[in-house]
Copies of this chain bind each other. A is one copy, B any other.
Amino acid sequence: MLTSVDPDVIRVLGDPLRLQIVTLLARETLCTTHLVEETGAKQTNLSNHMKVLREAGIVETEPCGRFTYYKLKPEVLTGLSEQFAALAASARTAAENKRACP
């Protein structure tokens, strides 16, 4: 299908807290404790969101002793970027493709 963005990833990123998490993880690899400090959310809430992000394939987990580190999968973000770029390119030429009034 032409220039269709994956709805699941977008929906997952649509949550403000999850987007904040992704933004934080784009800067450095962090574990749950750090994320609790940075976001101010409860640990159990964070764990829920991390599960969602994990199942969406946006982050990877890396156990380190008692801690669990999370890091982003850059290829997902790259894919999103390309899909939006394709949409934008298509949209630029779509202005003239005006379907006739029925």
Give me the interface of A with B, judged by CB distance under 8 Å. 1-5, 7, 10-11, 13-16, 19, 22-23, 25-31, 33-34, 64-65, 67, 69, 71-75, 77-78, 80-82, 84-85, 87-92, 94-95, 97-99, 101-102
Number of this chain's copies in the assembly equals: 2
Q: How far is the CB of A74 from chain B (nearest CB, A)?
A: 4
Question: Which residue of B69, B73, B81, B89 contacts A84 across the interface (Cβ within 8 Å)?
Answer: B81
A sample of 17 inter-chain contacts (CB < 8 A) reads A10-B13, A13-B14, A14-B15, A22-B87, A23-B87, A25-B91, A25-B94, A29-B94, A29-B99, A34-B99, A67-B101, A69-B98, A72-B87, A74-B89, A77-B91, A78-B88, A80-B84
